[in-house]
Structure 1
């Protein structure tokens, strides 16, 4: 299939992910490109984040924990070789924390308590190896939410700038209505709550 920009879609690399929360789900006809059916998947990795068809983050957190635990092996090896706590901490921030907190503002707010505990266990294990306290993922999430919200508020050309509206008092931001917990725990709702309580 030739597109307007003269690019050809690769059917082997194209996936179909259906997100449908209706009670009476319809049967979705398969997508075909040049006569070939596109593979339908239940989860897909996009820009380092595993998106699932039910919009939960269990797949992403499980993969993240597994990848971070593999890096703990190298942290233990560095400790065994007699590296200083400063070097161990630097390695943790670069090789382990960067994995645990990748796109954290997108998924952490909607993660289950079980998934958050699994992620925090990696941090606690790292603390025992390093022999010092490390920032919790909850604190990192809060800081990054506030930082990202601050950037959006300052940038009037940002598509989401209008979501951060001040109340007439000028001290608090107007909260956004939400019918589902999935939406209530998303970034914009969380960011507004954090801004109003900070």
Structure 2
């Protein structure tokens, strides 16, 4: 068994080993979970490097399709189905904390694909925004939560609530 410790304290200290049923649990510094590379200090460069490597491998096939004189709609469909799918995998979890260098690396993949396809493609930031909006809408559309958060409210006094935009002093 393995565990990863994420410690946000300023004074880092050694963690006592975890023991389950008489066997020690190994402490690891990084792992891959659901296709996302996690590091104990929550930097996302290893994840970005992995995504970049996968996307570059698929750019080869996009170039081959271009050399085969496929029309731009076919190339765009291939890009959206493979490369953009790789770039947007769990993007709502990690992209917001990427470094500028990581963002530029990912945007370079999109720009390269644009040159191959010869069609304007959404930037990596636009892909992230679209995925965040889609995720927020899916949360709001969830049947058991939609009635809870669908209307804004504010507290007027202890135990009473006012609903709707008719209360401007909230």
Question: In the alignment, which residue of structure 2 is the partner of 1:157?
Answer: 144
Q: What does 1:2-13 correspond to in 2, within 5 Å?
A: 11=1
C-alpha deviations, 1:77-127, integer Å up to 9, x for none? Answer: 111122221111111111111000101111111111111110010000001
Determine if the alignment matches structure 1 residue 51 to structure 2 residue 45: no
The 1:157/1:137 distance shift into structure 2, 3 A limit, reads: same
Structure 2 SS opposite 1:142: helix
Which of 152, 157, 162 matches 1:166?
152
Question: After TM superposition, which residue ranges in structure 1, 4 or more long, deviate above 6 angstroms?
Answer: 161-165
Question: In the alignment, which residue of structure 2 is the partner of 1:189?
Answer: none
Question: In the alignment, which residue of structure 1 is the partner of 2:10?
Answer: 23
2:81 and 2:14 map into 1 onto residues whose CA distance is 45
Normalising by the residue count of structure 2, what TM-score does the alignment of the two structures yield? 0.80
1:45 and 1:137 map into 2 onto residues whose CA distance is 22
Structure 1 unaligned regions, length at least 5:
1-10, 172-198
Between 24-33 and 64-73, report the one with greater CA deviation: 24-33
Question: In the alignment, which residue of structure 1 is the partner of 2:68?
Answer: 81
Question: 1:35: Cα distance to partner?
Answer: 4.4
Size of the aligned set, in residue pairs, is: 156
The 1:162/1:62 distance shift into structure 2, 3 A limit, reads: farther
1:69 and 1:119 map into 2 onto residues whose CA distance is 10
Question: In the alignment, which residue of structure 1 is the partner of 2:124?
Answer: 137
Question: In the alignment, which residue of structure 2 is the partner of 1:182?
Answer: none
Structure 2 unaligned regions, length at least 5:
155-162, 166-170
Structure 2 SS opposite 1:133: coil
Higher gyration radius (CA):
2
> Is the Cα contact below 8 Å between 2:66 and 2:116 reproduced in 1?
yes
Question: 1:162: Cα distance to partner?
Answer: 7.1
Aligned CA-pair RMSD: 2.4
Question: 1:20: Cα distance to partner?
Answer: 0.3
Determine if the alignment matches structure 1 residue 115 to structure 2 residue 91: no
